[in-house]
Structure 1
Amino acid sequence: METYLFYTNMKRRVEALTIVLAICLITIFVRCQSNETPIQQLVVALNGDSIEMVFVKGGTFMMGCTDEQGCDCEDNEKPARKESVSDFYIGKYEVTQRLWRAVMDTDSILPFNGGCEDCPMENVSWKNAQKFIGRLNAMTGKTFRLPTEIEWEYAARGGRRSKHYKYSGSNKVDEVAWYIGNSSGGQYGEAGVPRPVGLKKSNELGLYDMSGNVWEWCGDLYTKEYKQGGKSVYPGWPFEGTYLFFRRILRGGSWGGTAKRCRVSYIDYDIENYSDEYGGFRLVMELNFSK
């Protein structure tokens, strides 16, 4: 009887010790998983509102038609190529209707989904975005601008934290993007509209809606058709004053587009004075003006 009790007590102690060790191992694993350096963020106060900016550490990455894009690549995404980028800050969210009004103090541009303060400001041309940025810089004393195409794709891919997803933050488009497949048929059966920023999962850098919601203007001219291997096919192109000269790059896809267009490497473009309900923008801030 005593031997049996001793065996039973020892068995219970071993089981208890095993549970404790398992908990310790889980705790250590979780701590290791969360060991990554916290993402640096900066908040710029403005007229009772604020602009949340995320620091992006520069680096080198493969841009364009990389392996995870599969067979979806368009010709202007090819070939994949190595690019480098310096440190910068980028907006955590797309510019919202609330922020637009805080800067512009005008309703001269009426968004398609008006009255949704936290929805992205759309119906904005590239030129409209430049006017907004000029006024914002004057108000804050900082230097904001549109991202370059290389900066945009680097940030969308997650920068140095990239896990090489097809979309910005996931291989499943519905986790990270508002697009034609999920932007309509809400609680009241409404038609598709842009949605409030930040509702979907963020990417590796903590950026929201880099895939879907609204297209985002980049600062660059679109020159894909008349460049080969990064060199101009016709010296002097694009000719200033021509239609080609005024085309600007758009990235990220939109609430009214397909999943294919929400991929991190997909490239669209339009003339710089064009606007519609699918297009908005996101800010970049120069690093040397961030202090």
Structure 2
Amino acid sequence: MDKKGRTNRLLSRLAVGLMLAAMALFTGCPNKITVKPVTFEVTFSAGEHGTLKAKAEGIAETETSPITIEQGKIVTFRATPDSGYRVKGWTRDGEAVNGTNDSYSFTVTKGVEVKVGFESNSVPPTPPAGDVGSFEDTGDGFIKISPPAAGITGMNPTYTLPGTADEWKGVFRAGRKVKLSPYKLGKTEVPYKLWKEVYDWAIGTGYQFANAGVKGKDGSGSEEEPVTSVSWRDCIVWCNAYTQKTNNAESECVYRKSKTDTTVLKDATKGSECDAAYADMSKKGFRLPTEAEWEYAARWQGSNTENAVQYGEVWLTKLNSASGAKARWNNAGETNAVAWYWDNSDSKTHPVGEKRSNALGLHDMSGNVWEWCFDWYDANPRVNDAAYTSGGFVVDPQGGAAGVDRVFRGGCWDSLAGGCVVGGRLGGNPGDSGDHLGFRVACRP
């Protein structure tokens, strides 16, 4: 073939190539480019007397280190001490983090090394300085909380809240000095597994409920997800059943018909009877926390001043932040670390205890499900203080003398970040239930 022929053939092939490229362009056939995600190696280990497991999106929980995680994904570590031991402390790349919490979460942005150590329960924890209260993990799924003897001196916020209404300002208001007795609070929201165990026992022992409760959001979740679709009335009756089942007697049941009629409440379908419930706080049975107990537990930081405000001597998390967060609600990294909410929940509930705990070792105080409290709701939390005032303190308040709604706090899986802050207050009819409502239990030490 002569030079001219070879040139014509080359031009012909080029024309065909250009024609095919044009056809691909105009027939909507894109060029597929696969971008490999950026990943990092995360190593982890535990000291003697316990184990450490890690999990992340797309990675099942494992004890095998290291794991490779995509950039921007959240990794969660769960430490499990041996019997008689507790978490002593964590390090991340050699620096102390996370206090003595039993879980730790963060967003992966680089390769890191995480370590956790354990110590014997016989070694007393170092108490915080000053009259800032104290706490103790009692090893039974509860945290014993001892508020400061000098009370909590209220104050109004001087920083930006998610909204301007009073509903964002919590219960520790200026001019209000609240004193709380020691109490115990569940480390997690009540999971469906525990709810169902007590529910089945109760149904066969003379108790009745308005709602059977479901696993997580809609019943399709696991037994470790919080029970939902339970009313306030169901919760107080369930607490009595849990007390009787545990103690094999009714004597320590908290919820009674009235102060004078001490009949134990056992039927959640009797709305008016439940709504008039008297809480005998001298009993050691299980109960809902009061709103002040809930908020104090959600906000306590002791002497730690990070993202906190001083109330008397004790430092409490700012009202505009999720429980356990180190920055306000619109800091996505910190809200993600402690709460399941609209931005990260995939529109569903999640197993309790997966997120980083707060300073007391309590999980999910923000997000996952709203939590019923005992109190009647009023826009002004001080409305009934006269009934609880002694020696200049409002002692163990329980909200309004009467009302329409009962308090729930903390935000849930479909709340925006601002709805999960520790200062937010809402109320609902005690007969209401829904896929966003659950609870955790309290009791006397």
TM-score calculated relative to the size of structure 1: 0.71
CA distance in 2, matches of 1:68, 1:119: 35
- d(CA) in 1 for partners of 2:191, 2:384: 37
Contact 2:198 2:238 in 1 (8 A): yes
Distance 2:432 2:155 in 1: 25
Asked if residue 198 in structure 1 is aligned to residue 360 in structure 2, the reply is: no
Q: 1:43 to 1:228 in 2, by over 3 A?
A: closer
Match of 2:86 in 1: none
Distance of aligned partners of 1:194 and 1:64 in 2 relative to their CA distance in 1, 3 Å threshold:
farther
Pairing partner for 2:182 from 87, 96, 118: 87
Change (3 A) 1:65 1:280: farther
Taking a change above 3 Å as real, the CA distance of residues 229 and 65 of structure 1, as seen in their structure-2 partners, is farther
What CA distance in whole angstroms lies between the structure 2 residues aligned with 1:76 and 1:61? 19
Listed as ranges, the gaps of 5+ residues in structure 1 are 1-28, 45-51, 185-191, 233-237
Give 2:178's aligned amino acid.
E
Q: Report the counterpart of residue 137 of structure 2 in structure 1.
A: 41
Q: Cα RMSD (Å) of the superposition?
A: 3.0
Q: Which residue of 2 aligns with 1:118?
A: 224
Letter in 2 for 1:57: S
Q: Describe the shift of the 1:64–1:248 C-alpha distance in structure 2 as closer, same or farther (beyond 3 A).
A: farther
TM-score, normalised relative to structure 2: 0.48
Matched, 1:151 2:306: no
Pair member with larger Rg: 2
Identify, as 1 or 2, the structure richer in helix.
Answer: 1
**Number of residue pairs the alignment of both structures matches:** 235
For residue 252 of structure 1, report the CA deviation from its aligned partner.
0.3
Aligned counterparts, 1:225-264, within 5 A: 230=385, 245-264=403-422
Contact 1:195–1:213 (Cα < 8 Å) also in 2: yes
Please give the alpha-carbon distance, in whole angstroms, between the structure 1 residues aligned to 2:299 and 2:191: 22
Residue matched to 2:191: 96
Residue 110 of structure 1: CA displacement? 3.0
Superposed, 1:142-181 pairs within 5 Å as 142-158=284-300, 160=302, 163=305, 164=308, 165=317, 166-170=321-325, 171=327, 172-181=334-343
Deviation at 1:82, TM superposition (A): 3.9
Structure 1 residues 205 and 280: alpha-carbon distance in aligned structure 2, compared to 1, 3 A threshold: same
Please point out which of 256, 278, 285 is paired with 2:436: 278
Task: Work out the CA distance in 1 between the residues paired with 2:384 and 2:239.
Answer: 32
Q: CA deviation at 1:181?
A: 1.0
Distance 1:39 1:257, change over 3 A: same
Matches of 1:138 and 1:128, distance apart in 2: 15
Amino acid at match of 1:247: D
Q: Which residue of 1 aligns with 2:130?
A: none
Residue 63 of structure 1 contacts residue 153 of structure 1 at CA under 8 Å; is this kept in 2? no
Q: 1:231 to 1:202 in 2, by over 3 A?
A: same
Which residue of 363, 366, 372 corresponds with 1:211? 366
Q: Is 1:137 the counterpart of 2:243 in the alignment?
A: yes
SS in 1 for 2:228: coil
